[in-house]
Amino acid sequence: MHAIRNIVVLTGAGVSAESGIATFRGPGGLWEGHRVEDVCTPEALRSDPALVHRFYDLRRAALGGVEPNAAHHALARLDRAWTGELLIVTQNVDDLHERAGATRLLHMHGELCSALCAACGTRTPHRGALPPGSACAACGAAALRPDIVFFGEIPYRMDRIVDAIGACDLFVSIGTSGAVYPAAGFVQWARERGAATLELNLERSAGSAMFDESRLGPAGELVPAWVDALLAAR
């Protein structure tokens, strides 16, 4: 194996679990209270915008009561210290990576703290509730929606992600069940590129067999230990 210089980290709901944000598919996960098809599709947004907006309003409001955990802080430390390429690709729509200080970060499934104009495509930072029919500051249309990539929509920045995985020496997946594509396929792309692959997850995931190594445990313990070892080995 060649020396590690370029790293891609993929994170999922498990990285925020210890901050108190429920995962999607675990016990007490969001989908148990709300069916995916009721809240996370373009069709639902058309047929019941009030429900969809309220769902995301509640999740946005809940961010005020949570803090980044040791895993977010360790990744931010890696971001500051790593002199090679690093891209943290998160499927999470919370803002805990950036609140911990990560900057080389991309939200492939959108962000709770952003509004998207369905008319002109402008994305604007947004806090507080976002009632249906809110006006876009750029074009004036009453068309602001949560800036979330719904099922059936194309994740953001796939070009950048494909490039980063194509150039990475190490791909690390943290706290994701491997149930949702295209993110679930990133490990395969990384393997084809010849990168080393590591999974850090509470339990075996749908994709565990694809990784060179899977370490099982809470992200708040596994991620700081991995970052410490990586930085010490430079």
Known catalytic residues are: 109
Nearer to ligand APR, 67 or 203 (CB): 203
Nearest to 148 by CA among 179, 94, 112: 112
Residue 155 in contact with ligand APR, rule: CB under 6 A: no
**Which residues are 196's β-sheet partners?**
170
Nearest to 62 by CA among 14, 106, 104, 30: 30
Q: Name which of residues 105 to 124 contact ligand APR (CB under 6 A).
A: 109
Residue 177 in contact with ligand APR, rule: CB under 6 A: yes
Nearest position to ligand APR, beta carbon:
14
Burial of 225 per CB tally in 10 Å (0-12, 13-18, 19+): middle
Determine the Cα–Cα distance for residues 9 and 114; give it in Å rounded to an integer.
23
Tell me which stretch binds ligand APR (CB under 6 A): 112-120, 122-130, 157-165, 170-178. Answer: 170-178
Listed in sequence order, the DSSP H helices in 18-155 are: 30-33, 36-39, 42-47, 49-62, 70-81, 96-100
Amino acid at 83: T
Q: Which two tokens stand for residue 177?
A: 């069940």
Query: 6, 19, 23, 114: which one contacts ligand APR (CB under 6 A)?
Result: 23
Query: 189, 202, 208, 225: which one contacts ligand APR (CB under 6 A)?
Result: 202
CB of 148 to ligand APR, least distance (A): 8
CB of 196 to ligand APR, least distance (A): 20
Query: 9, 10, 17, 88: which one contacts ligand APR (CB under 6 A)?
Result: 17
Residue 59 in contact with ligand APR, rule: CB under 6 A: no
Tell me which stretch binds ligand APR (CB under 6 A): 19-27, 81-89, 188-196, 224-232. Answer: 19-27
Residue 91 in contact with ligand APR, rule: CB under 6 A: yes
For binding to ligand APR (CB under 6 A), which residues are involved? 12-14, 17-18, 23-26, 29, 91, 109, 175-177, 179-180, 201-203, 205, 218-219
